[in-house]
A and B are shown apart, each in its own frame.
Chain A
Amino acid sequence: MAIPQDTAPEQLPDATSWRDELADVGFVRRLLISRHWYGPDWWFVAISAVMVVGFITLAIIPQVFAPYPYDTLVGPRFLAPGARPDLPVLVVRSDSTAKELRDLAAPANAPRPTVGVLLGVPTAGALNQEAQKIDEQLKNGAEGLRLRPRIERFDTLKATLQALEDGQVEAVVVRQLEYEQIAGQFSGLRQGQPITGDTATAGGFLLGTNEIGQDVFSRLIWGTRIALIIGFSASIVALVLGVPLGLFAGYSSGPVDRLLSLVMDSMYAFPGLILAIAITAVLGPSVLNVIVAIAVLYIPTYYRIVRGQTLAVKEELYVDAARSLGARSMEILRRYIFPNVIPSVAIIFSVNIADAILTGAGLSFLGLGLPPTIADWGIDLARGQRFIQTAWWMITFPGLAIMLVVLAFSMMGEGLTEIFNPKLRER
């Protein structure tokens, strides 16, 4: 009795060697040689992947990228992007050795230095404050130096500077930008250091400051973290609940299926944001509650997709074949239906993250959900909208950030759809 040999033309070793090799390459290489990459869309996925990786990096280590903490008042209020803060600066005569306020300190028994300021601007207050601070430090020092300047006020900036040039006062404290405009007229004077604040902020802020003097750029970077936490957690919770429900309903397709579908469809019928608002309003503001509210919102999305796919896969011949071999229902669900359903879940997951971030931002824009101490784009938007006519940067940049993150995740989802599952292109 002849044993049938494996010699059909397409199974000859030579003809199949390249196929065997193809089967042996790893996942990454197979992804790269997927023919969809040669289509016009490869850059689409590449750009979105770079953006997504970038945002995830920002979310993990914001302190590396953000110049300031998100909740510290680092500069003047409403400073436009790139504009320099108008710091009070010390100006002395060219022959003086003083560079900063501390250099004016004198021994306790010597006469107190006279410092001139302009009347009606807050430089005098800043001067007093800083001088007191330095004096406190010096008091305990071994040199016995004190800094207790006598403050003399002048009516105009010119008069102030003239008094300095005339030797009437030892130094003046004026606003830096105002001084620089007329500095040319006083050749005998020299600008020292700003007397207040971190000298690092003297160069200005990349994206400006908000209404209480926080750095918009730093808040933007710190806000990535909460946006991604909400996006990922809500999507994962929705997936973990929605997928098993969909599998179960699709597979059993009895009264349980009908009941579950009714519940899910009625949830789906709600306008998304309204439902989330209602849930957060009941639960109260916290990160966890926002995640719960958004997850509830997206459970039906997973449920419907998975249920539909399960209904289709259930009718496949290989499921019948598995049953004809005595497989249990749980086994069929786990080994036959679930792996054939999961690719479409992976794709909606990515788009879903984008959606969840958007909804989260919407919630905190409305003042629901997140506690106001958290750096969040939605909260920044809400704060910025009151000043939209004077401080456009407060609302523009958080809005752009939301748009970019949502775009990145949606693009990646769409791109993955194209690569893994051309049939899903319509969705």
Chain B
Amino acid sequence: MTDDILYSVRNLSVDYTTRSGTVRAVDDVSLDIKRGEILGLVGESGCGKSTLGKALMRLHTGPAEITAGELWFDGRNLMTLSDGQMRQVRGAELGMVFQDPMTSLNPVQRVIDHISETIRTHEPSSEHLARQRAEELFERLGIRSERIDDYPHQMSGGMRQRVMISLALALHAKLVIADEPTTSLDVIVEAKFLDLLRELREEFGLTILLITHNIGVVAEVADRVAVMYAGHMAEVGDVEDVFDRPLHPYTQGLLQSVPNISLTEADNLYRMGGEPPNLVNPPSGCRFHPRCPSAMPICSRLAPHLQPAVDEHFVHCWLYEDHPEKEMPTVKAEG
């Protein structure tokens, strides 16, 4: 494991126990997050990206459970930590920003209490010092420091999302997992927020995992992108590589489905055939094969592996992997 990798997920599986059976929402996923990068994690609703995000912090309770895998964070396997040790890691080293800023702050607590509580959970610090630090953070994030005593409902969505960021920054978290942080913000606030993320990355050396279904957001801010489909990692690579030369048929379809202003009335937006699979009873082999335009006989029988097609560009598809049973020749992607 090289030193420039901050978080390394190895063969992670997360199961949900439901009435209709066990749902493997994340199936044997491996992923590396490099120090100081913004990694975009994209995929359809229900593909397991939020589940993966929560699993990285071991936040799951109730029906969800991590059933296999290792979570190597900064040289430690988080799976081996006790609950108490894990609490020390959460907030201090791993931060999370949630989808809906409207509901991710406690409505009966002042903003300052959120921050000072976070600081004092992890460090012995006086109320006064915690407040000072919170004010500095607010100043830095562009919130007037007198708003620090407000209740969450007195703030706008963008401000609340910045408060959430400040909670993660209060203790200098190394990795911030942002789970669809801009979904409920309008485009102007969204753009400002993304700018802020980039600035913070440079200023604090922050590593950010940006979970979103918005391809445009990823293209805008991310360095690398990981595409998930039905609990599997479909494709991982540099944003430019993946978006300019998508290898996986799912990524290709996904990119063609993005609405574009230059689209004329004559062009129809690409619509991917079929429906996302039911994960209680997933398709055999590659989970994408029922919807795949270039499916082969082997796709329905065996699952491919996530392999580098070109350099750092990983893909999970039989088109780019050799197998004795395969009838068609393996495609060699041009570098």
Contact = CB atoms under 8 A, between A and B. Distances in A.
A317 interface: yes
Interface in A324-341: 324-328, 331, 335-336, 339-340
Given A6-B142, A326-B90, A326-B92, A318 B154 contact: no
Give me the 9 closest cross-chain CB pairs, A-B, nearest first.
Answer: A326-B91, A325-B91, A324-B96, A4-B142, A326-B90, A339-B108, A317-B104, A317-B103, A321-B104
B91 A324 contact: yes
Contact of B121 (A318, A321, A331, A340): A331
A43 to B, nearest CB: 29
A1 interface: yes
A4 B162 CA distance: 11
Nearest to A326: B91
Nearest to B146: A20
B95 A322 contact: no
A25 interface: no
Contacts of B245: none
Contact of B154 (A4, A23, A325): A23
A4 B196 CA distance: 8
A326 B143 contact: no
Interface in B249-282: none
A335 B117 contact: yes
Contacts of A331: 117, 121
Interface of A: 1, 3-6, 8, 10-11, 19, 23, 253, 316-318, 320-328, 331, 335-336, 339-340
Contacts of A324: 57, 59, 90-91, 94-96, 98
B106 A336 contact: yes
Contacts of A323: 59, 90
Contacts of A322: 106
Contacts of B164: 321
B99 A317 contact: yes
22 contacts: A3-B140, A4-B141, A4-B196, A6-B147, A6-B159, A8-B156, A253-B62, A317-B103, A318-B103, A318-B105, A318-B107, A321-B104, A321-B164, A324-B57, A324-B90, A325-B118, A326-B89, A326-B91, A327-B117, A335-B106, A336-B109, A339-B109
B122 A326 contact: yes
Interface string B187-204: 001001001100100110
B90 A8 contact: no
- Of A316, A320, A328, most buried by chain B (CB within 10 Å of CB) is A320
Given A4-B192, A23-B150, 16 more contacts: A1-B199, A5-B142, A6-B142, A6-B159, A317-B104, A318-B107, A320-B59, A321-B104, A325-B90, A325-B96, A326-B88, A326-B121, A328-B87, A335-B117, A339-B108, A339-B109
B106 to A, nearest CB: 5
B321 interface: no
B292 to A, nearest CB: 35
Nearest to B155: A11
A321 B177 CA distance: 11
Interface of B: 54, 57, 59, 62, 87-92, 94-96, 98-100, 103-109, 117-118, 121-122, 140-144, 147, 150-151, 154, 156, 158-159, 164, 167-168, 189, 192, 195-196, 199, 202-203
A3 B199 CA distance: 9
Contacts of A10: 156
B121 A335 contact: no
A325 B103 CA distance: 15
Contact of A321 (B62, B89, B98, B189): B98
Given A11-B156, A317-B103, A318-B106, A326 B199 contact: no
Contacts of B96: 321, 324-325
A3 B143 CA distance: 10
A316 B103 contact: yes
A317 B154 CA distance: 18
A6 B91 contact: no
